[in-house]
Amino acid sequence: MAFPGNLSNFPFFPLQFNKDAQAVDASEEQALSNWLQGQGPVELLVLSHGWNNDEQDALDLYSRMFAKFRSVLDKNHVPALQGRTIAVAGVFWPSKKFAEEANIPGGAASAEVVDPLAGAFAGAEAAADPAVLGRLQELMAQDSLSLPERDEVVGLLRQLLATVPPSAEEGSANVQAAAADGGTFSNEVFLQQLTGEADAAAAGPDSGGAAGLFSNPFGDLTNAVRTGLNLFTFYTMRERAGQVGLNALNPLLARLAAHANARIHLAGHSFGARLVTAASAAGGQFHPKSMTLLQAAFSHYGFSTLYDGHSNGAFQQVLLNQRIEGPILITHTPNDQAVGWAYPIAARLKSIIASSIDGGPNDPYGGMGRNGAQKTPQAVSKTLLASGTAGYTFPAAGGVLNLESTAFVNGHSGIDNEAVAYAILSAMA
């Protein structure tokens, strides 16, 4: 697609990468590099989207965000940036999304949705085995299924989930192991864990409607398939984001850093937050001046030290090696049901006691976008996302500022507002 040369009067440069973490068009980096060579000092914001359907969705997000950036600057809410040249490098990478209203296990599909599985199948197409996905679609399109066919559905779902990319980060290993385990996790138990029916049954007959389904492990098959496909998409896209950050964006940033006049700032939404974090963690001859993670879709222990007594977070080296010269901002809110969704399912699949599964700060499988950085000595918490000229007290260089964002972020994608723009611009200043 054709990209604009500016967004709200900010010079704009697209950087497209494919699923194999390769540049789609080498001339895009060259255009940015050539432009930097002809400029004085530049504040270069490298921004990555999270899950999206296509480039247009990502561009629409960037357009909305930078309209808010322009408004904040025009109001002179960040005086330190007056007179500075700010440019944007927008990362585009192949990601898929699932409808947020269908994220929560047990959540009913809208009555207006003709096919409640359409979005889930569309998201999984990006990385699923076509034969497995095709047979699953064929079965789920039937008006009724025999018990053997229902059992086949769960088996296909497990076959798909067993291919979730392995990761040192919390969650995906549980999904993969449970899907591949034919002993402890029979099809019946697997389905119960996936839909939350086992939790409901353990809670007792007064715990709600889900408990009544427990006697029929195939009673909520549509929800199980939707949940399983979304779980597959979540972990697959999360790992793809890390690979694009590590193998594509990191070396590109190292080359751009050769332009001494460019101060690099990183920002990412959802899986894009993982992408830019992976890029900074990989090292190289560049040190971004700031990094803002907007509703990050990775573990809240990502930056932690000894979160379970003996393990460090997957990106702890970002802090230990002071990969970011300035502040790291993390927006988080319980409103983010999308990030709070996948990790509790991973916990269920590991058979953790149901009472510990809520996705919150004390949940061992909580997400960054819901809770902020947990068990991270360098993190400052209990700071509210603010608007206007409220001002921020940032931690020491390379420290983390958890920004409780409930007042301004109404869900996983609610980031295109002036409060978010003000936070990013304040960190850049």
Which pair of tokens denotes residue 270?
């959802």
- Using CA atoms, how far apart are residues 298 and 347, in angstroms rounded to an integer? 14
**Domain edge (last residue) among 237, 265, 286:** 237
Q: How many separate domains does the chain show?
A: 2
Q: Same structural domain for residues 40 and 120?
A: no
Q: Same structural domain for residues 225 and 264?
A: no
Q: Is residue 387 part of a domain?
A: yes
Does residue 132 surpass a pLDDT of 90?
yes
* CATH number of the domain encompassing residue 18: 3.40.50
Q: Where are the alpha helices (DSSP H) in 245-388?
A: 250-256, 271-281, 316-320, 339-349, 368-371
Q: Same structural domain for residues 253 and 217?
A: no
- Using CA atoms, how far apart are residues 178 and 384, in angstroms rounded to an integer? 38
Does residue 210 surpass a pLDDT of 90?
no
Q: Evaluate whether 348 touches 341 at the Cβ level (below 8 Å).
A: no
- Helices 339-349, 187-195: inter-axial angle, 10-degree rounding: 150
Q: Same structural domain for residues 59 and 35?
A: yes
Nearest Cα to Cα of residue 71 among 424, 417, 426, 427: 417
Q: Is residue 51 part of a domain?
A: yes
* DSSP string across 58-74: HHHHHHHHHHHHHHHHH
Q: Same structural domain for residues 55 and 177?
A: no
Q: Is residue 130 part of a domain?
A: yes
Q: Residues 298-343: pLDDT tens digits?
A: 999 999 988 888 888 899 999 999 999 999 999 999 999 888 888 8
- Using CA atoms, how far apart are residues 175 and 365, in angstroms rounded to an integer? 12
**CA angle, 246 then 248 then 253, to 5°:** 90
State the DSSP code for 359: S
Q: Same structural domain for residues 231 and 357?
A: no
**Domain edge (last residue) among 206, 237, 268:** 237
Q: Same structural domain for residues 112 and 178?
A: yes
- Domain boundaries, position 175: 101-237
Q: Which band of pLDDT confidence, cut at 50, 70 and 90, is reported for residue 356?
A: low
Q: Same structural domain for residues 68 and 127?
A: no
In the block, residue with structure tokens 């496909």: 229
- Using CA atoms, how far apart are residues 398 and 384, in angstroms rounded to an integer? 19
Q: Would you call 337 helix, strand, or coil by DSSP?
A: coil
Q: Same structural domain for residues 160 and 229?
A: yes
Q: Is residue 348 part of a domain?
A: yes
Q: Residues 197-209: pLDDT tens digits?
A: 654 333 333 322 2
Q: Is residue 355 part of a domain?
A: yes
Does residue 72 surpass a pLDDT of 50?
yes
- Using CA atoms, how far apart are residues 200 and 374, in angstroms rounded to an integer? 28
Q: Same structural domain for residues 219 and 252?
A: no
Q: Is residue 250 part of a domain?
A: yes
- Rounded mean pLDDT of 44-71? 95
- Using CA atoms, how far apart are residues 191 and 405, in angstroms rounded to an integer? 34
**Domain edge (last residue) among 237, 266, 285:** 237
Q: Is residue 1 part of a domain?
A: no
- Using CA atoms, how far apart are residues 5 and 132, in angstroms rounded to an integer? 42
* DSSP string across 80-140: GGTT-EEEEEEEE-------GGG-STTPPPPTT-S-TTHHHHHHHTTTS-HHHHHHHHHHH
- Using CA atoms, how far apart are residues 138 and 132, in angstroms rounded to an integer? 10
Q: Same structural domain for residues 52 and 178?
A: no
Q: Residues 234-243: pLDDT tens digits?
A: 999 999 999 9
Q: Would you call 6 helix, strand, or coil by DSSP?
A: strand
pLDDT of 357 reads 60
- Using CA atoms, how far apart are residues 212 and 215, in angstroms rounded to an integer? 7
Q: Residues 316-328: pLDDT tens digits?
A: 999 999 999 999 9
- Rounded mean pLDDT of 2-20? 96
State the DSSP code for 409: -
Q: Same structural domain for residues 155 and 51?
A: no
Nearest Cα to Cα of residue 28 among 40, 18, 20: 18
